[in-house]
């Protein structure tokens, strides 16, 4: 039986690389969720609500860094597929992302007072968030280069370094009495170590520049990718920020706990489309069919996300077991939230597929549903459960429309 499994892994590139990324992702997600759970237990519902809101801002604000990483992966995959040098591109991308990181970090630091009053959080926590954002903009180029080179063990290693340091140092600093600021400082240290390791790993690919690289096409491609990353990040994080704004500190903490557990069904398949993107990008650059890779990706992702949803259905009291008895009121939120994230993971896979084949028109469909969700959340937020149910409905419609649209695109490519 084992030889048959090994033979299948060797013959299926997605399964082989996906297994590596899935294993690394599971370790990373375990460390990340231990971090979230540890912070939830150590900080308590009130401070955890503050922490959750700031962390959601971090995720949403990092859409530009995600754009850089995604665009870097796309161009590295294309350069690799056509046998061109990558040195000039990597050097230019590092220089540009560094300057952008400094500008964004300084901007958030300058506006920290306003944001602190708006979200009712301590000023020192906002300043720590500014430092995290500065580091975030320096990391996407090494990460994107390694992903584009299909060096998935290296990509997984960077993620584990960041998550492990975040957990260890965050818990230590909170235990020492630094509260939310200490929890965020752990994240900053994790990003710093991953950045240093990433620079060492990509240094061989920076040799032999072979002339300059024109970034015009990079900017042209990155603009719709930026819109896509905003729309990708907002539905997965804005609800936590709105919960902190609309509800009491305790209710916001309860909502955050449900979102942390529910998002497992979204993060589980992330290893699959992390592998899918460079495979699709390379195949598309060579003019090869991409339908088989996409179908396998969707199949594997549904198995992973569906398993998480089934677990929550069978064991509805998981939020109490993980966070403690004080989080019992969050029980009705976990299952519908996890189903919402399963549907969103399908749309996320399709979004990555269209970006990999550089079909930016799909971004219009994706962004339209994102705008609809934001408007509805702003209008209808009587209870945490109402917010979750609203998100469930919007994401069901988005997944259905995305599947129909993608089917037409794939059929059109196959006929061509």
Non-local (6+) Cβ contacts of 288 within 8 A are none
What is the domain count for the chain? 1
DSSP 205-226: GGS---S----HHHHHHHHHHH
Kindly indicate the confidence band of residue 1, based on its pLDDT and cuts at 50, 70 and 90: very low
Q: Is 317 exposed, middle or buried (0-12, 13-18, 19+ CB in 10 A)?
A: exposed
Identify the DSSP state of 330: G
Q: What is the pLDDT of residue 414?
A: 60
Chain position carrying tokens 């994401």: 395
Segment 332-346 mean pLDDT: 90
Q: Is 124 exposed, middle or buried (0-12, 13-18, 19+ CB in 10 A)?
A: middle
Tell me if 140 sits within 8 A of 72, measured CB to CB.
yes
Tokens of 151: 């060096």
| Boundaries of domain holding 59 | 2-415
**Could you give the angle at the alpha carbon of 177 between the alpha carbons of 117 and 34, nearest 5°?**
90
**Could you give the angle at the alpha carbon of 47 between the alpha carbons of 45 and 329, nearest 5°?**
15
Non-local (6+) Cβ contacts of 359 within 8 A are 409
> Rg of the chain over CA atoms, in angstroms?
21
pLDDT digits (tens, 9 = 90+) for 73-132: 888 888 887 777 777 888 888 888 888 878 877 877 777 777 777 777 777 787 788 888
pLDDT digits (tens, 9 = 90+) for 50-59: 787 777 777 6
**pTM to 2 decimal places:** 0.74
Q: Which of 227, 229, 237 is nearest to 374 (CA)?
A: 237
Cβ atoms < 10 Å from Cβ of 342: 24
| Cα torsion 270, 69, 13, 282: sign | positive
| Cα torsion 31, 35, 36, 42: sign | positive
Non-local (6+) Cβ contacts of 261 within 8 A are 312, 318, 319, 322, 334, 337, 338
DSSP 322-369: HH-GGGGGGHHHHHHHHHHHHHHHHHHHHHHHHHHTT-TTHHHHHHHH
Segment 311-330 mean pLDDT: 79
DSSP 365-381: HHHHHHHHHHHHHHH--
The whole-angstrom separation of Cα 249 and Cα 166 is 24
Q: How many residues does the chain have?
A: 416
Non-local (6+) Cβ contacts of 160 within 8 A are 24, 27, 28, 31
Kindly indicate the confidence band of residue 344, based on its pLDDT and cuts at 50, 70 and 90: very high
pLDDT digits (tens, 9 = 90+) for 266-297: 877 877 878 888 888 888 888 788 888 888 88
Identify the DSSP state of 174: I
């Amino acid at each position: 039986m084992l030889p048959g499994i090994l033979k299948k892994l060797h013959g299926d590139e997605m399964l082989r690389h996906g297994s590596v990324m899935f294993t690394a992702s599971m370790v990373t997600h375990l460390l990340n969720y231990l971090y979230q759970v540890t912070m939830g237990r150590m900080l308590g519902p009130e401070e955890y609500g503050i922490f959750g809101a700031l962390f959601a801002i971090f995720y949403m604000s990092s859409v530009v860094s995600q754009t850089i990483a995604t665009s870097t992966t796309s161009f590295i995959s294309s350069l690799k597929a056509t046998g061109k040098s990558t040195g000039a591109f990597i050097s230019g991308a590092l220089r540009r992302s560094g300057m952008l990181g400094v500008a964004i970090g300084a901007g958030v630091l300058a506006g920290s007072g306003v944001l602190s009053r708006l979200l009712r959080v301590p000023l020192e926590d906002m300043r720590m968030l500014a430092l995290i954002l500065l580091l975030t903009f320096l990391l996407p180029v090494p990460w994107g280069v390694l992903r584009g080179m299909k060096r998935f063990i290296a990509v997984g290693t960077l993620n584990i370094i960041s998550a492990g340091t975040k957990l260890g140092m965050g818990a230590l600093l909170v235990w020492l009495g630094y509260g939310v600021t200490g929890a965020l400082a752990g994240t900053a240290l994790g990003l710093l170590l991953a950045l240093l390791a990433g620079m060492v790993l990509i240094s061989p690919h920076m040799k032999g520049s072979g002339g300059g690289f024109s970034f015009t096409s990079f900017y042209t491609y990155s603009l719709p990718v930026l819109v896509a990353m905003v729309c990708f990040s907002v539905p997965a994080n804005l609800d936590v920020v709105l919960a902190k704004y609309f509800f009491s500190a305790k209710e916001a903490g309860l909502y955050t706990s449900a979102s942390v557990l529910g998002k497992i069904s979204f993060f589980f398949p992330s290893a699959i489309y992390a592998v899918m993107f460079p495979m699709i990008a390379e195949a598309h650059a060579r003019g090869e069919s991409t339908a088989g890779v996409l179908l396998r990706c969707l199949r594997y992702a549904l198995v992973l996300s569906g398993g998480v949803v089934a677990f929550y259905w069978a064991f509805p009291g998981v939020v109490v077991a993980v966070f403690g008895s004080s989080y019992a009121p969050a029980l009705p939120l976990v299952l519908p939230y996890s189903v919402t994230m399963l549907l969103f993971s399908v749309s996320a896979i399709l979004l990555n597929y269209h970006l990999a084949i550089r079909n930016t028109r799909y971004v219009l469909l994706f962004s339209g549903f994102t705008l609809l969700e934001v408007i509805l959340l702003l209008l209808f937020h009587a209870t945490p459960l109402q917010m979750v149910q609203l998100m469930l409905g919007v994401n069901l419609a988005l997944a259905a429309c995305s599947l129909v649209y993608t089917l037409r695109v794939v059929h059109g490519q196959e006929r061509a």
